[in-house]
Amino acid sequence: MAERVCIAQIGAAHGVRGEVRLKSFTADPLSVTEYGPLETEDGKCRFEIETARPAKDMLVVRLRGVTDRAAAERLTNLKLYVARARLPQPADDEFYYADLIGLAAVTTAGAPVGTVKALHNFGAGDLLEIEPAGGGNTLLLPFTAATVPVVDIAGSRVVVAPPDEVLVEGEAEKPV
């Protein structure tokens, strides 16, 4: 399991007093304020959230020490992490994205498909990105119970059942 988990990403500056837009990756967006200081990926910079308020599909936050727009603009697109130990245990049917990265992906018949490279959400639901075992273009699958019926963190694998219109390398052509 990952030692640190990305729980937010700074967006654009908001106003002239150093506030920033913050995209929270937590189930309750405001809970991002409950995990203490947030760190950059390399761990060199730490940020404490002084204030946070909801605004459309994000938060507007004031970070300690960021007092003007120029300083806020320098933080744009910065991903923020916390130690895994500071996060609550996920429920049985919940997963931290970080725990899925690197798992082997196999078909329901047990044939290897590849490795989970990333998870994305472009607004229409979560997508599992799988890097094929034999190389080539990555495969994007909806991260739903129908398409990913088994997530076995302890066994380091996910079982995928791609929709009929998706041809996984090594499978025979599916009938139309």
Same domain for 14 and 55: yes
Where does the pLDDT of residue 121 fall: very low under 50, low under 70, confident under 90, or very high at 90 and above?
confident
Q: Is residue 167 part of a domain?
A: no
Same domain for 81 and 8: yes
- Answer yes or no: are the C-beta atoms of 21 and 58 closer than 8 Å: yes
Where does the pLDDT of residue 125 fall: very low under 50, low under 70, confident under 90, or very high at 90 and above?
confident
The CATH number given to whatever domain includes residue 74 is 2.40.30.60
Same domain for 59 and 9: yes
Where does the pLDDT of residue 163 fall: very low under 50, low under 70, confident under 90, or very high at 90 and above?
confident
Q: Is residue 58 part of a domain?
A: yes
pLDDT of residue 46: 96
pLDDT of residue 19: 97
Q: What value does the mean pLDDT of the chain take?
A: 89
d(CA 35, CA 137) in angstroms, rounded, equals 37
Same domain for 117 and 73: no
Residues whose CB falls within 8 Å of the CB of residue 118, separated by 6 or more in sequence, listed in order: 101, 129
> What is the chain's alpha carbon radius of gyration, rounded to the nearest angstrom?
19
Smallest CA-to-CA distance from 128 within 117, 137, 114 is with: 117
Same domain for 78 and 132: no
Same domain for 21 and 77: yes
Q: Is residue 169 part of a domain?
A: no
Smallest CA-to-CA distance from 87 within 154, 46, 35 is with: 35
Number of structural domains (the chain) is: 2
Rounded-to-10 torsion of CA 157, 169, 121, 163: -90
The CATH number given to whatever domain includes residue 134 is 2.30.30.240
Same domain for 17 and 44: yes
Same domain for 18 and 68: yes
Same domain for 58 and 15: yes
Same domain for 33 and 11: yes
pLDDT at position 118 over 50: yes
Same domain for 113 and 54: no
Residue 30 is part of which domain span?
4-85
Same domain for 114 and 72: no
pLDDT at position 79 over 70: yes
Q: Is residue 76 part of a domain?
A: yes
